[in-house]
């Protein structure tokens, strides 16, 4: 009997201790039991006050773009006024609340002077913020997600949103460096509007040093894409609808392809007055009229009402300092002309606008040596290069069929018959006089419309473009 009494007394004592412990958990203000049975921190006084005031916290934090992103606790946004905290609740939180109030008093007097937050890729980027986001188009060929970095600089004052895309073809490196230099040089406190940069769109191709996706498709022939289509079409749909639709202006960066290099130039549809006006803002750079092939990002953006141009500079598989610097200077000029930054870039002389262009082909196979340089002005019948058969020693000249400028050319190499060797910007003659490039470069709307009328009314010879040549453009 004594043993039974002691055992019962022990059970009663354990039950009482468990009840007291459970009561302490329920009464502890620092923890709360979630629906899943896990213990989570309870809301603090500041959190409750912020929740009651409807204050939203930014998802994207300001970071130095060239530094790794470290996890940090969420900070209270300075874009809204801090809620009023009752004196009885303030206690040790006085310093934190006073800091919020001090920040709120520094806001501009007019809400119209503040750049709105940018909502992109599931994140909110507040005004005067530079950050990195991540775009995950789909799964790669190996079934592993391949997120691509997206650099975002949201300015302090209102303005347009400029988007820069590069490496849609994975072997085109100059555009990656151009985007890097532009985004890292921007100060969000001195920027009006926003700049979104996607340095590497085709991450699959970039990792393999290939122009194409892993399935050998050219991504720049599938825009605006189809979310139920092929892999390329789905990737195109993803980047177009998640990023490009947020743009007011798009500059798509490219280089030449297949051992060819391009003079720094803009490809633009000069029959669109808005795009003609846009080309005025890049400074001294060659402009080539091109409506763009079906499925290009540029063409899809224009169809969606977003003025867009392609900026070509240099060749693939290498980084060329002069091409990169020209591209950077052109985009910096664009930022200034769009009143996004206050920094003037000076140019020595204007470059011409070409409403027609053509590739000149080799008729024989052999070793190609060029007689002209990229950017050189040429006349009809000038020798562009010489192709020599290494076995028979028979040579043939490649001559220019037009007056104009070499705006693209192949590097010296072994070529086959029909190889496209030289891209010639055709000088448009009007009664023996060339169209004045300043008519298009001057930046006046009236002159832009006149330039468009010249294109529409003047019979200009534009050589037919076949599939492989179109593949070398954009």
Condensed to tens digits (0 to 9), the pLDDT of residues 405-421 reads: 999 999 999 999 999 99
Rounded to an integer, the average pLDDT of 327-343 is: 96
Specify the pLDDT at position 52. Answer: 52
Residue 206, token pair as written in the block: 């970039």
E strand spans, 220-332:
249-254, 260-268, 286-289, 308-314
Element (H, E) at 135: strand 129-135
Q: What is the pLDDT of residue 106?
A: 52
- The stretch 438-465 carries a mean pLDDT of 36
Is the preceding peptide bond at 224 cis, omega within 30 degrees of 0?
A: yes
pLDDT in tens, 351-393: 999 999 999 999 999 999 999 999 999 999 999 999 999 999 9
Q: What is the pLDDT of residue 348?
A: 81
User: What pLDDT, on the 0 to 100 scale, is given for residue 56?
Assistant: 53
Greater model confidence, 111 or 359? 359
Max mean pLDDT range (110-114, 397-401, 446-450, 470-474) = 397-401
More confident call, 16 vs 307: 307
Sign of CA dihedral 362, 365, 371, 375: positive
Q: What is the mean pLDDT of the chain?
A: 78
Give percent of the chain above pLDDT 90: 60
280 φψ region: left (φ > 0), alpha (ψ -120 to 50), beta (else)? alpha
Tell me: pLDDT of 107 over 90. Answer: no
**What's the pLDDT score for residue 251?**
98
Q: What are phi and psi of 198, to 5 degrees?
A: -115, 95
Sequence-distant (6+) residues with CB within 8 A of 225 are 233, 234, 235, 236, 237, 238, 239, 240, 241
Mean pLDDT over 24-38 rounds to 38
User: Is pLDDT at 233 greater than 50 in this prediction?
Assistant: yes
pLDDT of residue 474: 72
pLDDT score at 147: 87
3-state secondary structure (DSSP) of residue 333 = helix
Which of 85-94, 102-111, 235-244, 245-254 bottoms out in mean pLDDT, i.e. has the lowest?
A: 85-94
pLDDT greater at residue 435 or residue 219: 219
Contacts 24+ apart (CB under 8 A), 391-395: 394/364, 394/366, 395/366
Hey, what are 161's tokens?
């949103």
Q: Would you state the structure tokens that stand for residue 466, as one six-digit string?
A: 């076949």
Which tops the pLDDT comparison, 34 or 473?
Answer: 473
Determine the angle formed by the axes of helices 174-185 and 321-337, rounding to 10 degrees: 40
pLDDT of amino acid 445: 36
Cα–Cα distance measured from residue 154 to residue 250, given in angstroms and rounded to the nearest whole number: 16
**pLDDT at 440 (0 to 100):** 35
Checking DSSP bridges between strand 286-289 and strand 260-268, what pairing results, if any?
A: parallel
Q: Enumerate the β-bridge partners of residue 149.
A: 134
| Model pLDDT for residues 453-467, shown as the tens digit of each residue | 333 333 333 333 443
Tens-digit pLDDT profile for residues 282-299 = 999 999 999 888 899 999
Apex 285 CA angle, 284 and 286, nearest 5: 135
pTM for the model stands at: 0.72
Q: Return the higher-pLDDT residue of 22 and 239.
A: 239
SS3 (DSSP) at 162: strand
Domains of the chain: 24-104 (no CATH), 114-337 (3.40.630.10), 354-472 (2.40.50.100)
What is the helix, strand, coil percentage profile of the chain, to 5?
Answer: 30, 25, 45
347 — pLDDT class (breaks 50, 70, 90): confident
Highest mean pLDDT among 23-37, 50-64, 89-103, 197-211: 197-211
472, pLDDT greater than 90: no
Q: Which residues contact 137 (CB under 8 A, 6 or more apart)?
A: 146, 148, 234, 235, 238, 239
DSSP 8-state assignment for residue 282: G
User: Which of these ranges, 114-123, 327-336, 409-418, 424-433, has the smallest mean pLDDT?
Assistant: 424-433
- Determine contact, residues 194/123, Cβ cutoff 8 Å: no
pLDDT score recorded for residue 462 = 36
pLDDT at 344 over 50: yes
């Amino acid at each position: 009997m004594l043993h039974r009494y002691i055992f019962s007394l022990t059970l009663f004592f354990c039950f009482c201790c468990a009840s007291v412990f459970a009561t302490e958990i329920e009464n502890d203000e620092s923890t709360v039991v979630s629906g899943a049975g896990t213990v989570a921190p309870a809301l603090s006084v500041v959190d409750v006050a912020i929740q009651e005031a409807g204050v939203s916290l930014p998802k994207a934090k300001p970071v130095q773009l060239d530094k790794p992103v470290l996890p940090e606790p969420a900070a209270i946004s300075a874009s809204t006024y801090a809620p009023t905290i009752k004196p009885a609740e303030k206690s040790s939180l006085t310093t934190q609340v006073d800091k919020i109030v001090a920040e709120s008093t520094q806001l501009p007097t007019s809400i119209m002077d503040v750049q709105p937050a940018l909502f992109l890729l599931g994140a909110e980027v507040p005004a005067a913020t530079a950050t990195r986001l991540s775009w995950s188009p789909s799964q790669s060929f190996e079934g592993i997600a391949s997120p691509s970095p997206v650099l975002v600089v949201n300015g302090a004052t209102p303005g347009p949103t400029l988007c820069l895309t590069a490496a849609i073809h994975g072997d085109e490196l100059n555009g990656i460096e151009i985007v890097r230099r532009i985004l890292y040089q921007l100060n969000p406190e001195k920027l009006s509007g926003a700049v979104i940069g996607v340095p590497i769109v085709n991450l699959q191709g970039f990792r393999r040093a290939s122009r194409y996706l892993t399935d050998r498709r050219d991504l720049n022939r599938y825009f605006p894409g189809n979310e139920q289509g092929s892999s390329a079409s789905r990737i195109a749909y993803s980047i177009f609808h998640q990023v490009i639709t947020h743009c007011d202006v798009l500059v798509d960066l490219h280089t030449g392809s297949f051992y060819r290099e391009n003079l720094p130039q803009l490809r633009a549809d000069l029959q669109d007055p808005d795009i003609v006006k846009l080309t005025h803002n890049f400074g001294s750079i060659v402009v080539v009229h091109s409506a763009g092939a079906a499925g290009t990002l540029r063409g899809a953006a224009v169809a969606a009402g977003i003025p867009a141009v392609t900026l070509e500079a240099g060749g693939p598989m290498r980084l060329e300092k002069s091409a990169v610097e020209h591209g950077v200077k052109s985009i910096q000029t664009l930022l200034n002309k769009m009143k996004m930054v206050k920094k003037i870039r000076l140019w020595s002389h204007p470059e011409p606008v070409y409403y027609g262009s053509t590739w000149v082909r080799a008729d024989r196979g052999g070793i190609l040596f060029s007689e002209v340089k990229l950017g050189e002005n040429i006349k009809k019948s000038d020798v562009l290069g010489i192709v020599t058969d290494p076995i028979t020693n028979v040579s043939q000249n490649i001559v220019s069929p037009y007056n104009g400028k070499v705006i693209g050319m192949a590097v010296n190499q072994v070529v086959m018959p029909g190889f496209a060797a030289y891209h010639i910007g055709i000088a448009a003659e009007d009664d023996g006089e060339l169209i004045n490039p300043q008519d298009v470069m001057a930046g006046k709307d009236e002159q832009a419309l006149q330039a468009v009328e010249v294109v529409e009314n003047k019979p200009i010879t534009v050589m037919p473009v076949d599939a492989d040549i179109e593949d070398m453009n954009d």
